[in-house]
């Protein structure tokens, strides 16, 4: 699968070069990076929320912080309209934090954190529409390949960690995730650009579809087009 993504990147570069040679508007290559706030939504999350309600807030659900980084090719199609395929590494997952709900030991601040650390290679194909000088909206399909999936368990009290263990959990998780992505952005005349977007997974994250649980990611990015 990694070889397939590499081949796709090479083909995109070849196509961009051909298109650039045939039209006046230049094809631009770019790089981007930014922060992710990832979570799960669906059946599993609903069960977790039930647990949170039963424990009266002793268990809480948090978004997993991460990052993304990659490159893209911007292909002008018409005035104010572009197609932008890309390839990027992106961290996704979710997090649960539990505290011991006993008043006598509350001063210990004992807690347990479980984090799903999913690492994906994303290939979005975006349509970008400019609605002002540099300001644009974008959206399109996205294919994601699961490179690594781990569960990290951390437990501690009084600021000290008594447990910090991590193990692989790729088995049983879907390797290829289809979704859609969209957002808003602004490109400056210098080529520097900023954007904010949202990834909406369409496939269940487990390979058997036993749990209706999906990836959701909020992204903020900075980039540069050459």
CATH code assigned at 103: 2.40.160.20
The average pLDDT across 12-25 equals: 56
pLDDT band at 17 (very low <50, low <70, confident <90, very high): low
**From the centroid of its chain, how far is CA 45?**
18
Report how many domains make up the chain.
1
pLDDT band at 216 (very low <50, low <70, confident <90, very high): very high
Measured distance CA(133)–CA(151) in Å, rounded: 45
Residue partners of 100: CB distance under 8 A and separation at least 6: 58, 106, 108, 110, 111
Are 95 and 61 in contact by the 8 Å Cβ rule? The answer is yes
Measured distance CA(185)–CA(37) in Å, rounded: 18
Measured distance CA(141)–CA(123) in Å, rounded: 9
Q: Cα Rg for the chain, rounded, in angstroms?
A: 21
Measured distance CA(30)–CA(192) in Å, rounded: 9
Give the alpha-carbon dihedral of 154, 157, 162, 168, to 10 degrees: 0
Highest averaged pLDDT of the listed ranges 19-28, 37-46, 109-118, 130-139 = 130-139
pLDDT in tens, 68-112: 999 999 999 999 999 999 999 999 999 988 775 545 445 456 678
On the question of pLDDT at 8 being above 90, the answer is: no
The average pLDDT across 169-195 equals: 96
Are 64 and 91 in contact by the 8 Å Cβ rule? The answer is yes
Sign of CA pseudo-dihedral 64, 68, 74, 80: positive
- pLDDT the model gives residue 97: 84
Identify which of 66, 87, 218 has the alpha carbon closest to the alpha carbon of residue 143: 87
Least confident residue range of 124-128, 158-162, 182-186: 158-162
Are 131 and 164 in contact by the 8 Å Cβ rule? The answer is no
Q: Which domain holds residue 127?
A: 2-225
Q: What is the mean pLDDT of the chain?
A: 85
- pLDDT the model gives residue 48: 61
């Amino acid at each position: 699968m990694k070889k397939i993504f590499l081949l796709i990147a090479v083909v995109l570069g070849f196509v961009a070069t051909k298109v650039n040679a045939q039209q006046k508007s230049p094809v631009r290559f770019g790089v981007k990076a930014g922060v992710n706030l990832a979570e799960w939504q669906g059946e599993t999350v609903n069960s977790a929320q039930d647990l949170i309600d039963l424990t009266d807030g002793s268990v809480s659900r948090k978004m997993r912080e991460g990052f993304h980084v990659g490159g893209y090719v911007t292909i002008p199609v018409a005035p104010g309209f572009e197609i932008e395929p890309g390839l990027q590494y992106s961290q996704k997952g979710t997090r649960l934090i539990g505290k011991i709900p006993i008043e006598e030991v509350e001063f210990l601040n004992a807690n347990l954190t479980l984090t799903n650390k999913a690492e994906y290679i994303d290939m979005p194909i975006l349509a970008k529409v400019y609605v002002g000088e540099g300001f644009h909206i974008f959206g399109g399909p996205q294919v994601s390949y699961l490179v690594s999936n781990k569960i990290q368990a951390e437990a501690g009290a009084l600021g000290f960690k008594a447990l910090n263990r991590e193990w692989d959990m790729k088995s049983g998780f879907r390797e290829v995730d289809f979704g859609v992505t969209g957002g808003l952005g602004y490109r400056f005349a210098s080529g520097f650009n900023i954007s904010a977007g949202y990834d909406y997974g369409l496939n269940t994250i487990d390979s058997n579809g036993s749990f209706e649980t999906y990836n959701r990611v909020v992204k903020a990015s900075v980039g540069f087009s050459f």
